[in-house]
């Protein structure tokens, strides 16, 4: 399975988008989507990337696959620096990194037959395997559990789960090394979702694939990943092997996220401590000072407002280390719900004050 060989690594990657200006004489407004992110993906592993909507998961994935140009940092793929490669230089590498998208409806061209949707990549990058293109495509369809006789059908003739299988076949066509799965099962019903997850895991074993698996569903990520990275407002706040992060998370945000995870087990759900975070994700256009999580953090202290924490190793070493970006990380046995947000109200006002005003009202 996973070795210690690194397939993709990013160091200090940042991505900003221009989103208009601050009036006539003001400067440009910039949205900081990805901020100083470093991570490594090992050959044959699944790295789960979790976080709430708008935290920069997809932007980061697009930077790593060079669908976006990055503003800062370097990206290395298979031992080669790809940060500044041009379009043409990237072309041969494209076949080695493929993507599977969330929306099985929007990501397939409705006017094209399944055979050509899957076969296009082969046409563009040149046939690699044996047999005609049709034979290869039908073989792929069989691998992902589609009926090869449906070669000439249109996407509209397939259900959501089957369409996601088409997307997977298309990603597999060029025998990639890395597949970025961007919320691949979020649009599917539970029973279908489980089928697709099993398929992805079977394919990983069979073809020695490496996955970057993006999802907001923590149960799915926990099930499929070897290591996970938790993102908050453009930064990775905690990362490490999945068991360690799930059982001994030390970033308050990770802890809150895990405690909010719905679990299909009423007794377990009743027993655990719920940490209900106040407020919403702040705007990435003007992120909070210091630690970006401090306005919502129950454990924040004065230095969190001014000092920007960096991702530090907590335990272990190398890619398998558990890293956390927090000035005051939680001990494994510490209970986050025992902390009361002390500085939140005074500093951020609006959203974080939600808890305060609720108490007044009730």
Partner 1 sequence: MVLLHVTDLNVSFDTDDGVVKAVRGISFDVDRGKTLGIVGESGSGKSVSTQTLAGLTRGARVSGSAQFDGLDLIKASPSQRRSVLGRKIGMIFQDPLTSLHPAYRVGAQIVETIRAHDRSISKRAARLRAIELLGMVGIPFPSERVDEFPHQFSGGMRQRVMIAMAMALDPTLLIADEPTTALDVTVQAQVLELMRKVQAEFGTAIILITHDLGVIADVADDVAVMYAGTIVERAPRDEIFYQPHHPYTEGLLDSMPGRVERGQPLRPVKGSPPSLIDLPPGCPFAPRCPYRFDRCDQEVPVLQTVFGDEQHQSACFLPTEIEERKALREQLVEKGGIR
Binding residues for partner 1, rule: CB under 8 A, are 52-53, 159-162, 189-195, 197-198, 201-202, 216-220, 222-224, 242-243, 256-257, 259-267, 269, 274, 276-277, 280-281, 350-351, 353-358, 360-362
Tell me how far, at minimum, the Cβ of 105 lies from partner 1, in Å.
13
Query: Going by DSSP bridges, is the β-strand pair 6-21/210-215 parallel, antiparallel, or unpaired?
Result: unpaired
Tell me how far, at minimum, the Cβ of 159 lies from partner 1, in Å.
5
Is the CB of 85 or the CB of 354 nearer to partner 1? 354
Is the CB of 174 or the CB of 203 nearer to partner 1? 203
Is the CB of 27 or the CB of 266 nearer to partner 1? 266
Tell me how far, at minimum, the Cβ of 281 lies from partner 1, in Å.
8
Cα separation, 326 vs 115, in Å, equals 50
Is the CB of 65 or the CB of 250 nearer to partner 1? 250
Tell me how far, at minimum, the Cβ of 193 lies from partner 1, in Å.
7
Tell me how far, at minimum, the Cβ of 180 lies from partner 1, in Å.
20
Tell me how far, at minimum, the Cβ of 358 lies from partner 1, in Å.
4
Is the CB of 121 or the CB of 257 nearer to partner 1? 257
Q: Which two tokens stand for residue 356?
A: 């305060």
Is the CB of 283 or the CB of 306 nearer to partner 1? 283
Tell me how far, at minimum, the Cβ of 195 lies from partner 1, in Å.
4
Is the CB of 93 or the CB of 291 nearer to partner 1? 291
């Amino acid at each position: 399975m996973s070795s210690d060989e690194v397939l993709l690594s990013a160091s200090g990657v940042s991505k900003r988008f221009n989103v208009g200006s601050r009036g006539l004489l003001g400067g440009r407004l910039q949205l900081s989507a990805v901020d100083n992110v470093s991570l490594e993906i090992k050959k044959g592993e699944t790295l789960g990337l979790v976080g709430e909507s708008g935290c920069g998961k997809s932007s980061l994935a697009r930077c790593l696959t060079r669908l976006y140009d990055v503003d800062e940092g370097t990206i290395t793929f298979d031992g080669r620096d790809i940060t500044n490669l041009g379009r043409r230089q990237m072309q041969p590498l494209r076949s080695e990194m493929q993507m599977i998208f969330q929306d099985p409806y929007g990501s397939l061209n409705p006017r094209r037959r399944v055979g050509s949707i899957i076969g296009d990549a082969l046409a563009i990058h040149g046939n690699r395997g044996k047999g005609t293109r049709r034979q290869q495509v039908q073989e792929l369809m069989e691998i992902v559990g589609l009926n090869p006789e449906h070669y000439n059908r249109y996407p509209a003739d397939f259900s959501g789960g089957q369409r996601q299988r088409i997307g997977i076949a298309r990603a597999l066509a060029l025998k990639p090394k890395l597949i970025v799965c961007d919320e691949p099962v979020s649009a599917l019903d539970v029973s279908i979702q489980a089928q697709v997850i099993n398929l992805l895991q079977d394919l990983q074993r069979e073809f020695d694939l490496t996955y970057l698996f993006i999802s907001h569903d923590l149960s799915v990520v926990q099930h499929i990943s070897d290591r996970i990275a938790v993102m908050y407002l453009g930064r990775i706040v905690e990362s490490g092997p999945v068991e360690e992060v799930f059982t001994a998370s030390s970033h308050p945000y990770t802890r809150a996220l895990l405690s909010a995870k719905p679990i299909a087990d009423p007794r377990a759900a009743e027993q655990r401590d719920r940490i209900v975070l106040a407020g919403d994700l702040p705007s990435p256009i003007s992120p909070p000072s210091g630690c970006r999580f401090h306005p919502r953090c129950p454990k924040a202290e004065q230095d969190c407002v001014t000092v920007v924490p960096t991702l530090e190793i907590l335990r272990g070493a190398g890619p398998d280390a558990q890293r956390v970006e927090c000035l005051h990380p939680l001990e494994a046995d510490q209970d986050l719900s025992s902390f009361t947000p002390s500085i939140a109200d005074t500093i951020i006002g609006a959203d974080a004050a939600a808890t305060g005003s609720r108490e007044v009202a009730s």
